[in-house]
Chain A
């Protein structure tokens, strides 16, 4: 093992070596290591290349806020994840890790040319560079940007893992299991509350894991953590580790993403990879702690430059020294402790550079005791080293003037610019923030949800203060639930309290324009970029953010927000609270689509509705098409037939003899009650009062704006009972609309509405022999033309089943629609099909249904209409009960625009060559030679090859179409212009002779 691993130190298991690969190279670590800690233990700091400049980068943190050390991880086929944080990913035997954004290798990357050309890539370079000439956009700029964009490579194989989701209800949800969270959980659980405690790390403890020397209630911090976790479990607390609270939503609804298998060498295959928890908590305690800020100076992104607190974590939690010779640069006391721990573990501390003129005397004494050189009132103005920092440039600062530099050799530079309370989840709730002048940061102010914020998350510092605050907030949460709790008081020895100051970019004696002082590491945003954005007129912090992309990377500016704010505030000459903070949005850390998707994938993504006859269609080789959520038989191809041939054959067979069609998907609504007829009069355009029981009528439904919403045949079964059919896709919408009017406009009407779509199976028989096939099965009904004419309905028995039989036609042929209880659908279908064989009965699908109806000019709502079509536009004025005092849409039809001349109207189109089939949706122009953009006067709504007409037919909505009969119009296509003649919409049997028996 390398010299950077401190024997016996940390929480890793030194008896369990683990081997994984990094860019193909074998790396050894211990169980409990992250990819980053194991690489650092092997002296490897270089872990990635930056996004824009391809600068070499190393881990700068030890947690989920990591902006630099993003890697690709692979665990076998399909299990590849880009942009994984090396600082979070636990290692296991066989894990494959690859660096990203480099070619050909991490140490030699041709993309690094961008770094030399950095002057070209300043803030807003997209907007400036790629503007001109316009023609370059498609061919040059966009391909270039696309090729250069992104860090990791998206996986291309399907994800073999599965993901779960669960709901959870709890009294108190505590987010963060550090000192504040543990104390809060203990207090709440002891008071008898149901408590859930979550932490994104593999184990509870938070900052205590990095502070083993602290004594809590006379026992070492780690023992206190173990004891506390044991007690919490005893008290029934649900402790969830590797679980990130990703979003905090209304009414204490919190999303948790629990990672279950990414840390395992061989998952059992049963366990989901991740589980999304949707938690409803009565009270929430936010104990997320604080994140350390970098200092902003030239070369602050070089591998080996790291946050001091993270170096302390690597040492104490993982037993890894991040270097042999360290320089510390800080504006906060906390980094001094990191220096002491490292010095005690054998790392030489070349200097502690503190930007403050007079650091805490106790710390100075401690450092002096260890023989550490102290450079108070100094700053760092630069670093050197290609793939790893090798020296630091340090200068004294007096007021705003920077003195002569000194170069200090080192292999790591540990920085601390102070700590930022983690306000992400609090901000999700729209809780307000207040600028704290003393701490130079934003703190939570007014709460929008039932929550408490505890510990470092509200600006407290030091273990004792945080523990006691956690206990207090745990008690407060319990009190809000109406219970009483006693907040324990904790005594802490060897505590490490501290204070600090906050900076904009550090002063420098170098040319400020050439300084590469990074604020946002992940998006390569420098202090200079932020100042440039302000100079170029950005005033709002939201504009500065978008112009520079500061804080817009996947880490959402966890490290960069306050530094960016300090610099923008200085550049604007406006104090920080007046500048304000940009908005944090969920998720807190990048979350997989799998976790959001959960079980809703594949066949579970959406239900597939199937009719009772669907299985017969499947057995008989139907091709399917989706119609809303239904899968419907589209056509029934015979051996060697394509769709065109099959549909032609189905059309021909139906018109020649008889076709059978599954119409079960038609929406069906039972309208019943003493006021049913009045209700129908008010809802539909047609008059219903005189429609006798036993008769049916085409019904047209409008919105109150006068536009067509739906249509269907409606049968009156009794004075007080209607069988309403709707379009397949419109059923739910129509019922909703009926309920709305019934409940809220006409509550005086005594009517009940019931959806019966799935209760009835509907079989349509069409063709000159339809009656011959059906009649032998019908009991209790005279089917003669006189007794049961076109547009009749009767309740009878068909094939022994109770039935509602309609004589209607959507084909222009004699037609019947038999409704039988759903369970009887397939049996009756088979009976009719068997009996129909002697008439060459032909099963047909939706495509033939469409062709047959189009030949007759019957519209399909939603295809030939689009929500702006009136009955008159569609040639359906005859369906309007003009004598009725009111119906939905009547007043709308009198609106000035709806009675205007020249509206788009539904007409027929015949292509001039008699062969070309138009494309549905194609646009129509009157003059194909006019300059572009041409004036479009309509579009093709339906277009088919018609066997009956012997040519292609089409319908279209055309401006002033009714007055253009016989005129030629043009349909420009990418390769040619098609000429067509305007006609009526009935292409077959215009007299309707075939409807008679």
Chain B
């Protein structure tokens, strides 16, 4: 069982308190009717499915209930960082440097 840091509660807690919520930083277009079929398809279905550091969303479901973002390495299952939804997308190179 992973330990996950909730950036809102500022606590590291067992995975059982959290639910996974898919890839992060996929913004719903502000005006959906103006986007093409291809763009809408990409928004709905196309995901990066990376092997390695993955930007993803989690929800502290059995805690504060907040959605937050995380970067998790899908190979090692290690979290590089978790951050609030409105925080900017952290740069991977800096994260990797820090984790070393």
Contact = CB atoms under 8 A, between A and B. Distances in A.
- Chains A and B belong together in one complex: yes
Interface of A: 249-251, 253, 278, 280, 430, 448, 704-705, 736, 739-740, 743-745, 747, 885-886, 890-892, 894-896
Contact of B44 (A430, A736, A890, A892): A892
B3 to A, nearest CB: 5
Interface string B64-92: 01110000000011100000011000000
Nearest to B1: A253
Contacts of A249: 1
Given A250-B1, A251-B2, A747-B86, A890 B32 contact: yes
B95 interface: no
26 contacts: A250-B1, A251-B1, A251-B3, A280-B3, A704-B32, A736-B19, A736-B59, A739-B65, A739-B67, A740-B67, A743-B67, A744-B57, A744-B67, A744-B85, A745-B28, A886-B32, A886-B33, A890-B32, A891-B29, A891-B32, A891-B35, A892-B40, A892-B44, A894-B33, A895-B40, A896-B37
B66 A743 contact: yes
Given A743-B67, A744-B67, A891-B35, A704 B1 contact: no
A908 B1 CA distance: 49
A480 B27 CA distance: 42
A321 to B, nearest CB: 48
A705 B40 CA distance: 9
Contacts of B3: 251, 280
A169 to B, nearest CB: 12
Nearest to A886: B32
Given A249-B1, A251-B2, A890-B33, A705 B44 contact: yes
B85 A747 contact: yes
Nearest to A705: B44
A250 B21 contact: no
A973 to B, nearest CB: 37
Contacts of A736: 19, 59, 61
Contact of A891 (B1, B27, B33, B65): B33
A448 B76 contact: yes
Contact of B37 (A747, A886, A895): A895
Given A747-B85, A886-B32, A892-B44, A430 B65 contact: no
A922 to B, nearest CB: 31
Nearest to B15: A250
A683 to B, nearest CB: 13
B97 interface: no
A430 B76 contact: yes
Given A740-B59, A891-B40, 17 more contacts: A249-B1, A250-B78, A251-B2, A251-B3, A253-B1, A278-B1, A704-B32, A705-B44, A736-B59, A736-B61, A739-B59, A739-B67, A744-B57, A747-B86, A885-B33, A891-B29, A892-B44
Nearest to B31: A886
A896 B38 CA distance: 10
A533 to B, nearest CB: 29
B40 A250 contact: no
Given A739-B65, A743-B67, A704 B44 contact: yes
B72 to A, nearest CB: 11
B40 A743 contact: no
B85 A704 contact: no
Contacts, number: 56
Which 10 pairs across A and B sit closest by C-beta, in order of nearness?
A: A891-B32, A743-B67, A745-B28, A251-B3, A744-B67, A250-B2, A705-B44, A253-B1, A891-B40, A250-B77
Most buried by B among A251, A280, A736: A251
A600 B96 CA distance: 41
Interface of B: 1-3, 19, 21, 27-29, 31-33, 35, 37, 40-41, 43-44, 57, 59, 61, 65-67, 76-78, 85-86
B70 to A, nearest CB: 14
Contacts of A740: 21, 59, 67
A297 B61 CA distance: 59
A885 B29 CA distance: 13
A894 B33 CA distance: 9
B41 to A, nearest CB: 8
A829 to B, nearest CB: 32
Contacts of A890: 32-33
A726 to B, nearest CB: 18
B37 A704 contact: no
A747 B66 CA distance: 12
Contacts of A744: 57, 67, 85
Contacts of B86: 747
A868 to B, nearest CB: 14
Most buried by B among A250, A448, A890, A896: A250
A707 to B, nearest CB: 11
A750 B20 CA distance: 25
Contacts of B78: 250
Nearest to A253: B1
A893 to B, nearest CB: 10
Contacts of B40: 891-892, 895
A740 B65 CA distance: 10
A280 B33 CA distance: 50
A253 B66 CA distance: 26
A932 B97 CA distance: 61
Contacts of A894: 33
Contacts of A448: 76
Contacts of A278: 1
A705 B33 CA distance: 13
A253 B77 CA distance: 13
Contacts of B44: 704-705, 892
Contacts of A896: 37
Contacts of A886: 31-33
Contacts of B65: 739
A313 to B, nearest CB: 36
Most buried by A among B29, B44, B66: B44
Nearest to A739: B65
A743 B85 contact: yes
Nearest to B75: A430
Contacts of A745: 27-28
A448 B2 CA distance: 14
A634 to B, nearest CB: 31
Nearest to B19: A736
Most buried by A among B27, B28, B61: B28
Nearest to A448: B76
A886 B31 CA distance: 8
A887 B29 CA distance: 12
A812 to B, nearest CB: 36
A896 B36 CA distance: 11
Nearest to A742: B67
Contacts of B76: 430, 448
Most buried by B among A743, A890, A894: A743
A448 B41 CA distance: 39
A139 B66 CA distance: 56
B86 to A, nearest CB: 7
B2 A704 contact: no
A744 B61 CA distance: 15
Nearest to B3: A251
B32 to A, nearest CB: 4
A404 to B, nearest CB: 56
A747 B68 CA distance: 13
A705 B78 CA distance: 32
A736 B19 CA distance: 10
B93 to A, nearest CB: 22
Nearest to B22: A740
Contacts of A743: 66-67, 85
A704 B1 CA distance: 32
Contacts of B41: 895
Contacts of A250: 1-2, 77-78
Contacts of B28: 704, 745
A744 B25 CA distance: 10
Contacts of B1: 249-251, 253, 278
A241 B31 CA distance: 64
